[in-house]
Amino acid sequence: MEGATLSKPLILPAFQAEEVHCTGRAFSSSLSAREKKLVCVTSGNSCLDSHIVKELLANGYLVRVTIQNPVDFEDIKELMKDEEINQLESVVVAKMQDLESLCDAFRGCHAIFHTSSFIDPHGVSGYSEHMAFLETEVARNVIKACSGAAYMRRCIFTSSLLASIWSDDNLDRTIDEGCWSNEEFCRENKLWLALGKTTAEKAAWGKSKELKVKLVTVCPGLLMAPSFPYAHKDTSLPYLKGGSVMLQRGILATGDVNKVADAHVRVYEAMDDGAFGRYLCFDKVVERLDEGIQLENELKRHGLRPGSVVSAEETREVHSKLCNSKLAKLLLEGSQGKSCRQ
């Protein structure tokens, strides 16, 4: 089965997870699906995606998940409980570089959540310059498929804080949603994940304007999870390339994966009420060297400590230049609105 050439997506119904069924046009945009707000989450076998799926299910959404290969379903079973998997509308094998495959997967959906084009839960492949190029090509594909198949043409696109922080001329500037990383700076310093997220997000914005897809982007810091460091080793290692510079500049920020997932859902829900543009997403800025050392120990890697440092410097605070007030305001307004409804 894995070696077969698939012209249409493979459907893995959640209630028959151990069986594999091939179909033609997999889904129809039925009225009942629209009423339940069917949404699709790409690459559901990653740590962040699985948490977004859980958050959507907990809020009563009908959720479809895509994976790149049938074997990736094993990762989903490790990341989610059986009862959560059984709540899914379906799991669809859809190649991220195959536009027709994505269109079939997105058909009838109210919105698309796209977090990453490359998922490596076991953290063995790293992130290369070539991946940065492909990440950008897939971003265009996702927006094209969203335009052609998702009936509401909405996309919640996960970028990264890395797409805003890397520049050689912003040392004293507050970094917010208006800031973009310098692509040439990223290339010169081999910051491939930062480059990939920057170019992919820009491509998504360009294509969404062209095709009239309503787009919002969430730009999280380094993801943190209870099962650290293995739950998202694939993103933590490439994210921290240049980590000592981030720490010194006060731009090294982390985000609890549960809070980041919740932010994705809240931003989506606020799109009807004016949510727009980019949202920087983090809940902690590493501002002291001892905090950086603690992060190193949790990651079981080193490189944040800038050479030999005396103990007095370990508690020296670095002034943060990051600002996520736009997201904080949206979340506050959302919680107030929810309290009023209750």
The rounded distance, in Å, linking the Cα atoms of 328 and 279 is 9
The rounded distance, in Å, linking the Cα atoms of 159 and 143 is 14
95 has catalytic annotation? no
Q: Extract the tokens encoding 7.
A: 């012209």
- Per residue in 117-155, is it b (16+ CB within 10 Å) or e — as a string? bbbbbebeeebeeebbebbbebbbbbbbbbbbbbebbbb
Q: Extract the tokens encoding 188.
A: 């010169």
Residues 6+ apart with CB under 8 A from 291: none
Angle at 121 between CA 102 and CA 115, to 5 degrees: 40
The residues facing 255 across adjacent strands are: 223
The rounded distance, in Å, linking the Cα atoms of 66 and 71 is 12
Residue type, 280: L
SS3 content of the chain, % helix, strand, coil (to 5): 45, 15, 35
The residue annotated as part of the active site, out of 54, 197, 207, 241, is 197
Angle at 239 between CA 265 and CA 223, to 5 degrees: 35
Q: How far is CA 178 from CA 164, 187, 219, 324, in A?
A: 8, 21, 12, 11
- Give the residue numbers annotated as catalytic, written as ranges: 197
